[in-house]
Amino acid sequence: MKKIKNEKELVKKAIEMGVKYGEDRGVVEFEATDSQALKIEYIYRLLCHDKVIQPLAEEQVSQQAMRHRLAIWASKA
């Protein structure tokens, strides 16, 4: 995995975009108490399901890999 220079900021942007995407679509309603890890996993799986991003191989799925994939998505948006 190639390190992205400002990955932390891109992950925050991706979470904001993903929450908006999921709520606009009407499939999820996030609570203020939901953890960042939970949001990342849900957004990643939703975007894979909708074929917005390329899914990782199931044995490669980890919190870090999902964060990286979402950062790439946010950087292109």
Residue 18: per-residue pLDDT: 95
- Examine residue 39 and state whether it is found in any structural domain, yes or no: yes
Query: What's the token pair of residue 19?
Result: 């929450």
CATH code for the domain in which residue 71 is found: 1.20.120.1930
Residue 62: per-residue pLDDT: 94
- Examine residue 34 and state whether it is found in any structural domain, yes or no: yes
Asked if residue 71 lies in contact with residue 14, where contact means CB atoms within 8 angstroms, the answer is: yes
Residue 77: per-residue pLDDT: 83
Query: What's the token pair of residue 55?
Result: 């899914």
Instruction: Determine whether 41 is exposed, middle or buried from the number of CB atoms within 10 Å of its CB (0-12, 13-18, 19+).
Output: middle
Range of the domain at 45: 7-76
User: 3-53, pLDDT tens digit by residue?
Assistant: 788 999 999 999 999 999 999 999 989 898 999 999 999 999 999 999 999
Asked if residue 63 lies in contact with residue 41, where contact means CB atoms within 8 angstroms, the answer is: yes
Q: Tell me if residue 72 falls in helix, strand or coil.
A: helix
**pTM tops 0.85, yes or no:** yes
Residue 16: per-residue pLDDT: 95
